[in-house]
Structure 1
Amino acid sequence: MVHVVSSVKFALKAQEAGVDAVVAEGFEAGGHNGREESTTLTLIPQVAKAIDIPLMAAGGIATGQGMLAAMALGADGVQVGSRFVATHEASSHMSFKQAVVDAGEGATHLTLKELAPVRLLRNKFWQDVQELYTSNPSIEDLKQLLGRARAKKGMFEGDMKEGELEIGQISGLIDDIIPAAQVVENMINEFNTAKQELSKVNF
């Protein structure tokens, strides 16, 4: 059993509960996120120092260079989410896949912390949330705006205005829709190339 955590505190709790490994997910990740706002760069070495079980890194990893960096920080492997959204095999709607490809730097935002923090692409629904925040909303107000199945409406049914579009900050580096096997092959090649390039550096 593997458990996803966003802090050292919860990594230790997961270890005490008997999980086989933990995935430490940084603030950059898409979808639901931790309230601590710890970035992958800072979270991974802290968790690696604190636990004795295998550690996977997540959040902002979509390249072989990112995988190498995570492992240099103490991770035993990585979990990749956002990059696989823009693949042929992903069940996400083509409109959402294209929105991920079109996303640039700063296209996502972490919001709805009072319910469950979630990183979203900016769209009409996201703007509606921001406007609601200007009136100091209650949790019930936020729940009413969110409604039900809004993520399904956006990511899987293709409603790019009213849907919840969950994706990570790494979307700014995703610029094509390719087979999932190609994603894996690219990451392995990039990982090996990055290792070779680093071996030439005189520290």
Structure 2
Amino acid sequence: MENRITKLFNIEHPIIQAGMIWNSGWRLASAASNAGGLGLLGAGSMYPEILREHIVKCKKATDKPFGVNVPMLYPDIEKIIDIIIEEGVKIVFTSAGNPKTFTSKLKENGITVVHVVSSVKFALKAQEAGVDAIVAEGFEAGGHNGREETTTFTLIPMVKEQLKVPLIAAGGIATGRGMLAAMVLGADGVQVGSRFVASEEASSHRAFKQMVVDAKEGDTQLTLKELAPVRMLKNKFFESVVQLYTTNPTKEDLIKHLGRARAKRGMFEGDLEEGELEIGQIAGLIHDIKPAAEILKDMVLEFEIAKKEVANF
């Protein structure tokens, strides 16, 4: 399949493996890229020099394009950007911040820049900042999410209506049928997170992966909107947050209760009770843990089958 996204990234399939914290290390990113998609390293959970190690290992593990996702709300952002440039990474996805901050600097160094948004307003701001493509992420997505609560099915056509640069859909997409639906709505490609969490190569803890596989409809919920809205699996920690809200907590109360390294504790270290377990609503449709290459292959096959079925309507 060839379209604006495959041409932009020089990849075979318009499928991007999301750069998720504590999940997207060099093994997952290289596996996704080797399978014909675009793999992303999740810089949000890496100190600068750890990111450099992952970039170096990824370059050794694949000769295909790969990129780095950079959430701009994390510390050491300047160092991270400098390392990306020094190591010759050619694709950067920015998120959780103003796209004007680094887009010009990255593009001056020959880097293709994509920005993640959750609304039409911010999609247009990103386009004005000069990004090469935009990821529009719906309310269904896991991890840190937009405050607008606009679903993917609604967001994609609204963004498409006003956008000129290529559009990538994200949030609630884990299958070929979901990919086809997003592209019918106007997306040029898809970014997939939760499905790749349940992959052999994801750097997250096996216990967390299994909890994702075991999840059913309604097992995730968006919370902590006063801080940075995050969708997570319901566990002991989540229930403690729900209980805290009954006391009308201040922002400071929520910050204290969240504490430090809660996401690492849950997703990377496997504390399924007290950890923050970030995942999307689509977890209810994920039933196994398998290699990233198989996940990508299955998505492409199902996409082609679904496309033929739709053509017969």
User: Aligned pairs, how many?
Assistant: 201
Deviations along 1:101-155, whole A, 9 cap, x unmatched?
A: 0000000000000000000000000000000000000000000000111000000
Q: Report deviation, 1:184.
A: 0.3
Q: Tell me the secondary structure at the aligned position of residue 2 of structure 1.
A: strand
| Cα distance, 1:80 vs structure 2 | 0.2
CA distance in 2, matches of 1:197, 1:160: 40
The structure 1 residue matched to 2:294, chosen from 174, 182, 190, is 182
Q: 1:25 aligns with which of 137, 144, 159?
A: 137
Q: Could you tell me the TM-score, scaled by structure 1's length?
A: 0.99
- What is the DSSP-based 3-state SS (H/G/I as helix, E as strand, rest coil) of the residue aligned with 2:192? coil
Code of the residue aligned with 1:154 in structure 2: it is G
Instruction: Provide the residue aligned with 1:145 in structure 2.
Output: 257
1:50 Cα deviation (Å)? 1.1
Q: Is 1:198–2:294 an aligned residue pair?
A: no
Query: 2:148 maps to what in 1?
Result: 36
The answer as to 2:139 corresponding to 1:8 is no
Deviations 1:135-187 (A, max 9, x none): 00000000000011100000000000110000000000000000000000000
- 1:111: which partner in 2? 223
The letter of the residue matching 1:17 is A
Q: Distance in 2 between matches of 1:199 and 1:12?
A: 33
Give the TM-score normalised by structure 2: 0.64
Matched to 2:213, the amino acid is V
Contiguous gaps of at least 5 residues in structure 1? none
Equivalent residue, structure 2, for 1:69? 181
**Stretches of 4+ moved more than 6 A in 1?**
none
Q: 3-state DSSP class of the match of 1:132?
A: helix
Q: State how far apart, in whole Å, the 1-side matches of 2:189 and 2:247 are.
A: 43
Between 1 and 2, higher relative CO (CA 8 Å, sep ≥ 6) is seen in 1
| Alpha-carbon shift at residue 63 of structure 1 (Å) | 0.2
In the TM superposition, residue 52 of structure 1 has moved relative to its aligned partner by 0.4
Q: Distance in 1 between matches of 2:306 and 2:295?
A: 16
Q: d(CA) in 1 for partners of 2:298 and 2:163?
A: 31
In the alignment, structure 2 segments of 5+ residues that lack a partner are 1-112
Question: Does the residue aligned with 1:191 lie in a helix, a strand or coil?
Answer: helix
Aligned to 2:275: 163
**Aligned-partner Cα distance in 2 for 1:93–1:135:** 33
How many Å separate the matches in 2 of 1:42 and 1:192?
24
**Alignment RMSD, CA only?**
0.4
| Residues in 2 aligned to 1:76 and 1:182: alpha-carbon distance in whole angstroms | 22
